[in-house]
Amino acid sequence: MSNTYLPTLENQEQAITISASTGRIDTHDIDEYSQTTPPWDVVLRQASFGQFQGTTEFVQIGGMLMYRELWTRRVLVNGGSPAGFYVVGGPISPKTDIHWCGSSLDRQRQAFGRPGGEVDFVIPEGGRHVVLLIPSGLLMSILDEETRTELASDARHHLVDSGALGATFLGVMDTLISKYLAQPELLNNALECRALEQWLMEFVVRCIFARSNQRIRQSVSERHKTFRRAVDYCDGLSGPAPVWQVASAAGISQRQLERVFAKTLGISPIRYMQQQRLNAVHRALRAASRGSATVTKVAQHWGFTELGRFAGEYTRLFGESPSATLAATRRPPPKRLADTLVQRQ
């Protein structure tokens, strides 16, 4: 790859314009947070006990979106990455165990996703992470033809292993978000915005094509593919199912299935199936208009027949009773990440 993939500010006109903004999104349950995720096309499920709270702090600059998140509960996410954007991100909290498309992330191994690619990941409770969404046209515009072809044809689209370079990138993104949230007026300077945009592009390309990545040219592991098949099968269930049935649908033994769930989610397949249905009840109760549904009907629809036990498990998972969810006053929809994105000037 050529080392001259970035323009410089030299000889550029001073009258350049570039859009920029900052902000914060606070959410108070998993389904309220789910409303903020577009342009991601994903489904989220809470997988650890207690009330969920989410914080997203963002800096938008010239069509790119850099943001930092904190989730108070473990969450399983699956679906598609944003159409039209490349994704780079990773943990900034020490010992944050993020499972991304079958791999474990740390400060030196970052998530990488192509526009509209299939993704799934697990974020642990209390772990902070940062993400950068890069318009695909912008990224391609700074690469030479050989590099564009390599990026488009490379199957290594789930992970980048860039060592200390990647750790520096995640740390600097964290610092930059704090800086511009504290001093948003700095983004009124178009030259500073352009310099920031170009710096981010340089680091992204260096991380993606870091020499250490040569040793991890592989797609998602077979073991993780079986996990995906099991999750997809469970998500289609509206009631309990025996573990052997899920294992058979995933094409593995029951013992293998239990190991895969323990390693990826830290819970058993039985617990996951229960939590999947509890999450479905939570979504239904939260979406119900006043007087249009009862807790009993919704619970029974999702296969819960012992209502006392159901209510206890629901309260344990979400930190409130099902009747409280149904009766809660609905806040206005939160801002979506997509609402912060603008067309590049």
**What's the pLDDT tens digit per position in 237-265?**
999 999 999 999 999 999 999 999 998 88
285 Cβ contact list (under 8 Å, min separation 6):
293, 295, 298, 322, 325, 326
pTM over 0.85, yes/no: yes
Of 200-204, 278-282, 319-323, least confident by mean pLDDT is: 200-204
| pLDDT (average), residues 185-210 | 87
Q: What is the pLDDT of residue 294?
A: 92
Structure confidence by residue, pLDDT tens digits, 327-339: 887 778 899 999 9
Structure confidence by residue, pLDDT tens digits, 43-83: 999 999 999 999 999 999 988 999 999 999 999 999 999 99
Q: What is the pLDDT of residue 10?
A: 42
User: Which structural domains are found in the chain, ordered by start?
Assistant: 20-219 (2.60.120), 222-327 (1.10.10.60)
212 confidence band (pLDDT: 50, 70, 90): low
1 confidence band (pLDDT: 50, 70, 90): very low
243 Cβ contact list (under 8 Å, min separation 6):
254, 257, 258, 268, 269, 270
Average pLDDT, rounded, for the chain: 86
Q: What is the pLDDT of residue 143?
A: 85
Structure confidence by residue, pLDDT tens digits, 11-49: 344 444 678 899 999 999 999 999 999 999 999 999 999
295 has a pLDDT exceeding 70: yes
Residue 182, CA distances (Å) to 55, 90, 246 in order: 16, 22, 49
